[in-house]
Amino acid sequence: MRPNTSLFSSLLLLGLALATMAGAENRPDHMVYLRTIDPGIEQDVRYASAHNFTGHPLAGYDAAECLLTVETAKALARVQTALRAEGYGLKVFDCYRPSRAVADMGRFATEPGDPRKAEFYPRVDKQDFWRLGYVARVSGHSKGSTVDLTLTGPQALPANKWTPAAAPVDCTAPYEQRWHDGGVDMGTGFDCFDERAHPDNPTINATAKANRQRLTRAMEKEGFSGYSKEWWHFTYAGEVAKKEVMDFPITPLATRDVVDASQQLIVVTSKNWEDIQGSAQRYERDGSTFKKSGDAFAVVLGKTGMAWGKGLFEPGEGPVKREGDGKAPAGVFKLGTAFGFDPVAQTKLPYLALTPTTECVDDSQSSRYNELVDGSVISKDWSSSEHMRNEDVLYRKGIVIDHNTPAMPGAGSCIFFHIWRAHTAPTAGCTAMDQADISRLFNWLDPRETPLLVQMPEAQYEQLREPWGLPQR
């Protein structure tokens, strides 16, 4: 028997109104932006747009950002690292969901109108969403440990750019025909309210089955469990479950939020945009501020200086980095894998021992653009790359700077900390230093401390230092 939709709709409206009144709720300390933990995980937060089953942005989604509990975000980053080693990756569609957005979904399901039915639920009556398990009255997403995502990889078709004029295509249509979300074939699209979206549905093709299994194995290995009605839905069980639902709105990521989450900073400044030499200083958090760690040390930059890069924030006013321009990227960046010639290294960072076949792809037309790959085991679709292991000493020790991650064609690639040729010899776009200094970074950096690189000319640093909460040089 169906519920009294009029009464239920009234209750939902009341719940939505009460949730909206709670809009002043602040983000709890245990909730973080996924971008600050792993900027390499792609994001397409559907409920911040009209491209979802309701046909409108949901209440509380004031920005297209993924937020999760700290432990969930770190676990998801571990999944990403494991998948990257296999040539795959993650793309999230939804993470934390304010409870007002859940009420918004419920309201939609009781009111007239089906603007996106043809794409998301062509064979389902929306009043049956709850009975069929596609919509919950209280969502685990509101507790911060549940995520909706897909698998990216070399067989994925490029993502389409959605506009309201896009023709709706049944989410169960063949992979080549339905909406291209940038993921590999998973048997259906995201938020497809249909039995074919059930993870163990036997009617999907062998490729989709294999992709679902790959995603599920990777997620389960790091403590996530799936859901029987949706192949994209996983909940992290590796921490004490948060019982309370939350309703703080999802707002744009602010630079101050990222800096406040970091316990280790490396600040690199130069005299101006064209300068090829700079100064670096390590800092450690001391309460609400930072204190210096060790002495400042010299670095060399790109042969044409610096330009705003693609880091955790949009470029400011000034030159913008492009592939092959000889400029080191300015901005705020996460630090990735350490690498070197030695089979093992004394570092807390993840470490990659370089081999004669390790390459960094700088061909912007390649699906592996801006990635370190083993050229002996991957089918090559690139015409140029940098061979990382050679007689040169530059990469005897290095650290990946997460610039242009996920990669945007032409925005620049293969940016590292590495050993310099000399203190007067600029780089092709990296930041280089004496071997003793990079050895100190190997020993000092700790990924658990969310280290960041802040790199820019002195004038820009001084302009941004106070609003961003950066230390005084």
Given 222, 230, 323, 371, the catalytic residue: 230
- Evaluate whether 256 touches 467 at the Cβ level (below 8 Å): yes
Alpha carbon distance 70, 78 (integer Å): 13
Q: Give 311-354 as a DSSP string.
A: SSS---SS-B--TTS--EEEEEEEEEEEEESSSS-S-SS-EEE-
CA 455 to chain centre: 21
Distances (CA, A) of 372 to 301, 336, 416: 21, 11, 11
Neighbouring C-beta atoms of residue 323, cutoff 10 Å: 18
Q: Which residues, other chains included, contact 265 with Cβ-Cβ below 8 Å and sequence gap of 6+?
A: 259, 282, 283, 290, 451, 452, 453, 454, 470, 471
- Cβ burial of 62 (10 Å; 0-12, 13-18, 19+) is middle
Known active-site residue 284:
no
The sign of the dihedral angle between the CA atoms of 277, 296, 37, 457 is: negative
Q: Which of 280, 276, 369, 278 is nearest to 326 (CA)?
A: 276
Are the CB atoms for 349 and 335 separated by under 8 Å? yes
Whether residue 300 contacts residue 420, with contact meaning beta carbons closer than 8 Å, is answered with yes
Active site positions, annotated: 230
